[in-house]
Chains A and B, each alone.
Chain A
Amino acid sequence: MDDVLSLKQKNAKIVKVLVLVVIGMFGFGYALVPLYDVLCDLTGINGKAKSLATEEIPYKVDMARDINIELVTSLNESTPMRFHAETKQLKVHPGEYHTVYFYGQNQTDKILEARAIPSFTPSIAAEYFHKVVCFCLNQQTFKPNESKRMAMRFAVKPDLPKELKTITLSYTFFDNTKSAIQN
């Protein structure tokens, strides 16, 4: 009988350890969420812009280089808006400040809460894109059928890697009205 008992104990022990591993791995799945953000933050590899507007720092303008900036706009799923960039493309010198405008219109007769999410291609460019003013930093509230002209002021940092000649910046407007009301 000793043998039987010790087998039971051995089984109980191994099950305990393995169940802990299972719980740990379930937690690890969730831990990947902040880990992913931290990793992307450190390396800037997913094209996410830092959502902080900082004050205007005077840069030394590099007149020798022309950087092509492309502005792309899109709407997510069912966001009931009209949204486009007034300037779709412009050439800038690194270090120079420019202001571009976007046009957004609420297509419904209800209040619309929407948020624009930026994304850079190539993703590495996110680190060298200095925004001073941006409509994407806050949730935008549109009154029924209201249209807005929204500004974004930026400079490309002069230490932008030499091989980068075109930066595509895309904004997608997400409809947050539902969650905004519930909160």
Chain B
Amino acid sequence: MSAIVAEHDEHHDHDDHGPAKGILRWIITTNHKDIGTLYLIFALAMFFVGGVMALIIRAELFQPGLSFVEPQFFNSMTTMHALVMIFGGVMPAFVGLANWMIPLMIGAPDMALPRMNNMSFWMLVAGVVLLSSTLFMEGGAPAAGWTMYPPLVLQTGKALPFAIFSVHLLGISSIMGAINIIATIFNMRAPGMTLMRMPMFVWTWVITAFLLIAVMPVFAGAVTMLLTDKFFETSFFDAAGGGDPVLYQHIFWFFGHPEVYILILPTFGIASTIIPVFSRKPLFGYSSMVYATAAIAFLSFIVWAHHMFTVGMPLAGELYFMYSTMIIAVPTAVKVFNWTATMWKGAMTFETPMLFSISFVVLFTMGGFTGLMMAIAPSDLQYHDTYFIVAHFHYVLVPSAVFMIMAAAYYWLPKWTGNMYNEKIGQLHFWLSAVSVNILFFPQHFLGLAGMPRRIPDYAVQFTDWNMISSIGGFIFGFSQLLFLYIVVDTIRGGTGEKVTNEVWEGALQYGGGMTQGLEWTLPSPPPYHTFGEAPEVVVIEYEH
């Protein structure tokens, strides 16, 4: 905290004070850095909560038969693991990074709506607490899967209204966060920071924010319909009253497909930020990256029914959703080729953030290919609701979204704290994670192709071997993450003791911002409590062609 006090002599027109004292600082704060920190710490805590749930699942699946938990509780675990990881882990981590980095990257003094920023964080906490409380309710936590399909989900016990209200709170929280991010990016960029000069992380986040605003309300509507179907005698999804349960699937996936891109677009932004710095080369194809991101976001709205090929769609529908889904591979491939081309003939070094980024490019591509396999409607009938889909979406979430959140933490921790993390332990963490994540998820492809269904606590004996291997990978992966926790705590408390420069990474200033100098690297490490009270000068980088 001494650094914050030392910077006190900087001149501001207003708000020229440090943080409030004690615990109150964190409760009433409207400072984007504090709120970013809160989001990130909360996300890390939820990552471990969701991780424990995953380990319960993997322990139960270590061998056939019912070993540790009741089937009902097992189903609660798969459901809650997904909800906690998506709404409590990955999304808040991205919002935390956005809070910390977007104002620094575009040269703004803070977020546009600081009070709403505070509110959206605490609403997130309220939502997750409410959701977690269902674990202790009569009838158990929701167990019908995170997709909450009726009529099954309507059999949830006392927990149903609580789960639905928690979804409402989480939705409102992320909508407020998204509005704040759009207002900040549109209104508060430093002079000279034009749209087509914004760092890719900012670009991907503004597109993500629009996705959030467009689809979270639809999801809120869908769960509200579930609520009224259950308690107020409506029949949106009740066939007896003229409704249709398949309608829920359409509405849900109209939200759900853009939602999965909400979880991946900021990941792309982080990769596009880190890879150029450690390749000492400008990002290859900046504008094609922007357009590819926008194209992926647009396509996400028109492909939803590929999640429900088995529901009994007419042939024309299956064909349409099959081809439109495959088109997404084009802008995504543009991105993968751009990252590869950025590394091509670069003066690469392999610090922990770069290691995570490279493994992201490789493993995300694998997850993308299994996605293409499932886009093929006739063969999807075989893969649907098997472990193949589990393997697919974990490849595009764990070694992609989660790895890049960790890469971002390694990349910016020295900037945030002014201390260097322990590179040796960082690399150990990377190698343990990268190897074990494949031991964990790769065998699930085989299990799925062999026909093992998802969301079951017990299975046929021929699936035993690959499940054991997967569980062993799961436990190595889970416990390896304690190294990450150690590194974060250690770095905050001083790290290696090495004082870091403003730039931290060689080349970060030049290549870390994309089209301009990376503004966050012009600031001291750690940055003062208030930054860019006066708009900074934006230095455009002229590249030779």
Identify whether the interface residues of A are mostly helix, strand, loop, or mixed.
helix
B313 adjacent to A45 (CB under 8 Å): yes
Q: Residues of A within 8 Å of B, CB-based: how many? A: 38
Asked whether A179 and B241 contact (CB < 8 A) given A23-B217, A45-B317, A46-B246, the answer is yes
- Best-surrounded residue of A19, A27, A33, A77 (most CB of chain B within 10 A): A33
A172 adjacent to B239 (CB under 8 Å): yes
1/0 contact trace for B202-230 toward A, CB 8 Å? 00000000000111111111100100000
**Considering only CB atoms, which chain B residue lies closest to A7 in the complex?**
B187
1/0 contact trace for B296-315 toward A, CB 8 Å? 00000000000000001110
B244 adjacent to A29 (CB under 8 Å): no
Chain B residues within 8 Å of A105, by CB: none
CA distance A45 to B316 in the complex (A): 10
1/0 contact trace for A1-45 toward B, CB 8 Å? 000000100110011001101111111111011001000000101
A33 adjacent to B314 (CB under 8 Å): no
**6 closest Cβ pairs, A-B complex:** A29-B221, A174-B240, A26-B217, A29-B218, A25-B217, A45-B314
A-B pairs under 8 A by CB, number? 98
CA distance A22 to B215 in the complex (A): 9
B314 adjacent to A124 (CB under 8 Å): yes
Chain A residues within 8 Å of B218, by CB: 25-26, 28-29, 32
B246 adjacent to A18 (CB under 8 Å): no
B3-11, B47-55, B247-255, B335-343 - interface stretch? B247-255
B188 adjacent to A32 (CB under 8 Å): no
B213 adjacent to A15 (CB under 8 Å): no
1/0 contact trace for A43-54 toward B, CB 8 Å? 101111000000
Asked whether A22 and B213 contact (CB < 8 A) given A15-B113, A43-B314, A46-B246, the answer is yes
B190 to chain A, nearest CB (A): 13
B314 adjacent to A14 (CB under 8 Å): no
At the interface, yes or no: A157 with Cβ under 8 Å from chain B?
no
Asked whether A123 and B314 contact (CB < 8 A) given A29-B222, A174-B240, A182-B233, the answer is yes
1/0 contact trace for A109-148 toward B, CB 8 Å? 0000001010001011000000000000000000000000
CB contact between B112 and one of A11, A47, A124, A172 (< 8 Å): that residue: A11
Chain A residues within 8 Å of B358, by CB: none
CB contact between B312 and one of A10, A32, A43, A123 (< 8 Å): that residue: A123
Asked whether A33 and B213 contact (CB < 8 A) given A15-B113, A43-B314, A45-B313, the answer is no
At the interface, yes or no: A107 with Cβ under 8 Å from chain B?
no
B504 to chain A, nearest CB (A): 31
B247 adjacent to A36 (CB under 8 Å): yes
At the interface, yes or no: B151 with Cβ under 8 Å from chain A?
yes
CA distance A117 to B217 in the complex (A): 31
A170 to chain B, nearest CB (A): 11
